Structure 1
Amino acid sequence: MQINSLGALRKNRLKNCPFKDDRKLQKEGRGIYDFWYDENNKLIAVKWVDNKVVTLASSFVGVQPLGSVKRWNAAEKRKVDVPCPKIVQQYNKHMGVSI
């Protein structure tokens, strides 16, 4: 039996993950992501830049396929499409659901 899991993590919980630094990711802009896959434990961890850097980990969903989300762009004064990994879409879809 396999238990599927997906959740948000604090950045200090993944000390041994070779992620890019948060500041470097934020400089690249919204929609940028970095990921790391642990072959032994079959887990993927993803950092994605929205307004801030978000860190998620999952045992059943990964980065692909990339989708897009609408985000407000203050410079353009309109909503723009931002690339979004599948893991973030799944998290947002089920966030706050009571079982």
Structure 2
Amino acid sequence: MQINSLGTLRKNRLKNCPFKDDRKLQEAKGRYDFWYDENNKLIAVKWVDNKVVTLASSFVGVQPLGSVKRWNAAEKRKVDVPCPKIVQQYNKHMGVSI
């Protein structure tokens, strides 16, 4: 039996993950970096929304990439920002009790 899991993580919980630096990722909304652990079948993703968000999952990954609407202050309008599948799944089920 496999138990599927998905959730957010604090930055300091993934010390051995070779993620890009947060400052490098924050150059634009929608950027992401991921790391896959082949042995444990886990994926960890860092994604930039207003801040960097770190998620990990045992059943969903980055693909297919979707998009979300976010406010762009420079253009003064909402723009489409790339969004990994793991973030979409998390937002869809966040706060749901079983």
CA drift at 1:10:
0.3
SS, match of residue 55 in structure 1: strand
The residue aligned with 1:22 is 22
C-alpha distance after superposition, 1:29-60 (max 9, x if no partner) = 11110000000000000000111000000000
SS, match of residue 20 in structure 2: coil
- Identity in percent: 96
TM-score (norm 2): 0.98
TM-score (norm 1): 0.97
Give 4+ residue runs of structure 1 displaced > 3 Å after superposition: none
C-alpha distance after superposition, 1:45-92 (max 9, x if no partner) = 000011100000000000000000000111111110000000000000
CA distance in 1, matches of 2:70, 2:30: 10
Alignment of structure 1 residues 62-77 onto 2, 5 Å: 62-77=61-76
What is the RMSD of the two structures over their aligned residues, measured on CA atoms? 0.5
The residue aligned with 2:89 is 90
CA distance in 2, matches of 1:22, 1:59: 23
CA distance in 2, matches of 1:2, 1:61: 13
CA distance in 1, matches of 2:36, 2:29: 22
- Would you say how many aligned residue pairs link Structure 1 and Structure 2? 98
CA distance in 1, matches of 2:73, 2:18: 32
5+ residue gaps, structure 1, are none
5+ residue gaps, structure 2, are none
